[in-house]
Amino acid sequence: MDRRRARHGCEVRPLCVAFAAILCACHREGPEPSPAAVAVKCVHPERGEIDEKLSVRGRLVPPPGGTLLVASQVAGRVVQLLAHEGQRLEAGKVVAVVDDTTVRDTVRQAEAAVSQSKAAVTNADAILERTRALLDRGIAARQELEDAQARADSAHAGEVAARAAADLAKRTLGRVQVRSTLSGVVTRVLRGPGAIVDGTAATPVVELASSSTLEFVGAVTQFDLTRVHPGQAASGTLEGAAEPLVGTVRVLPSAIDASTGLGALRIALEHYPAATPVGSYGEMQVLVEQHQGALLVPAAALRGAMVDGPEIVICKNGTAHVRSIQAGAYDEKRVQVLGGLDASEFIAVDHVLGLDDDTQIRQLP
């Protein structure tokens, strides 16, 4: 039994050694393969024209003097409000009605005063004629004629004053209807039915903003303001609107906000979407300068932020070389290169974020 076990052990030992040798051969590391070259499309920069634009975010506002507080010219209580916020009104449209009870009483009193003045004029004229006839017959003294003449003149003057008061009362009655004197949009309702107004601008009923002309106002840094001048063209869109905004720079700010360092740039709009709410937000681009013969690269070739100094990847001898450049004007598709690139060099336009210095590349046709 021991002999058989020993013989079996001798047979197994060579098999184990062979198996261990095979196992070690399988785990032996071979030479590392060289990384495959990255297929990259490379192009030459181009010479062309590009517009340098300043992006301005802001909102639509009426021009200076384009807002109006509509107030009643008659003191009393508002009995009816005929306007609401957002409503577009034409000049002359009634926006509210004030209680006219007191004004109607004033009209009746003025009309009664006119009747009294007419009667006084008739009586004074009759006395004057009789006195004049008596003077001609030598019965009345000249002093009596002068007194009669004075009373007649006073009566006529009283009639004129009474008629003027009656006309004023009637015009006041017409003013119980509060009318807009400006075509625009109601931006605020300040007083509704039941409110008391004193007949002055201190108690307005609604606020209107002109809708015939609007401006785009945005905040711009002091540095950017040095590149902007009145008359420069501007275009853009409002949030959620497809129709474009078109205008020109109207005026630069006369002061810079001390807390923000920003100034208000006003752009006079020549075209904007119809029925646009006043105060709508959007973005416009001011055409600052046109560059002719600029060295341009595709925007897809850049990596990194424009403000931090973007980078490009140079394709040379099958190797990638990362280089910083000085960028200028740009749009959605192209960027102007001011320095750091020669027109004869090739630049990568795809996979630029995955390329490092000395990365092996294969240029695609």
pLDDT digits (tens, 9 = 90+) for 280-316: 999 999 999 999 999 999 999 998 887 678 999 999 9
Higher pLDDT, 212 or 291: 291
In this predicted structure, the answer to whether residue 161 has a pLDDT above a threshold of 50 is yes
3-state secondary structure 92-116: CCEEEEECCHHHHHHHHHHHHHHHH
| Predicted confidence (pLDDT) at residue 112 exceeds the cutoff of 80 | yes
Contacts made by residues 64-68, CB under 8 angstroms, sequence distance 24+: 66/184, 66/209, 66/210, 66/213, 66/214, 67/187, 67/207, 67/208, 67/209, 67/210, 68/180, 68/181, 68/182, 68/184, 68/207, 68/208, 68/209, 68/210
The ranges assigned to domains in the chain are 39-50+292-364, 56-64+210-290, 65-99+178-209, 104-175
pLDDT of residue 147: 86
Confirm or reject CATH 3.40.50.10860 for domain 56-64+210-290, answering yes or no: no
Q: Is the pLDDT of residue 252 over 60?
A: yes
Which of 3.30.70, 3.30.530, 2.60.40, 1.10.287 would CATH assign to domain 104-175? 1.10.287
pLDDT on residue 12: 45
| pLDDT category of residue 273 using cuts at 50, 70 and 90 | confident
Question: Given phi > 0 = left and psi -120 to 50 = alpha, else beta, which region is 235?
Answer: beta
pLDDT beyond 50 at 20: no
Mean pLDDT for the stretch of residues 326-338:
90
Q: Decide: 336 and 36 in contact? Cβ < 8 Å.
A: no
- Please say if the pLDDT value at position 9 is more than 70: no
Rounded distance between C-alpha atoms, residue 335 and residue 310, angstroms: 10
* Arithmetic mean of pLDDT, 45-56: 93
Label residue 31 by pLDDT band (50, 70, 90).
Answer: low
CA distance 109 to 21: 130
Res. 241: pLDDT tops 90:
no
pLDDT at 33: 61
Instruction: Please tell me the predicted confidence (pLDDT) of residue 174.
Output: 85
Which tens digit of pLDDT belongs to each residue from 173-186?
888 999 998 888 89
d(CA 283, CA 171) in angstroms, rounded, equals 48
What does the pLDDT average to over 1-6?
A: 46
pLDDT category at 32 given cuts 50, 70, 90 is: low
- Answer whether 267's CB lies under 8 Å from 253's CB: no
Point out the least confidently predicted range of 31-35, 61-65, 334-338: 31-35
Q: Using alpha carbons only, how large is the chain's radius of gyration in Å?
A: 46
- Taking 50 as the threshold, does the pLDDT of residue 18 lie above it? no
Which of the four CATH numbers 3.40.50.300, 1.20.58.100, 2.40.420.20, 3.40.190.10 does domain 39-50+292-364 have?
A: 2.40.420.20
Distance CA 54, CA 225 (A): 10
Question: How do strand 204-210 and strand 184-189 relate by DSSP bridges?
Answer: antiparallel
The pLDDT of residue 25 is 47
65-99+178-209 CATH: 2.40.50.100
The mean pLDDT value for 203-210 works out to 91
Mean pLDDT estimate for the chain: 86
Same fold, 56-64+210-290 and 65-99+178-209: no
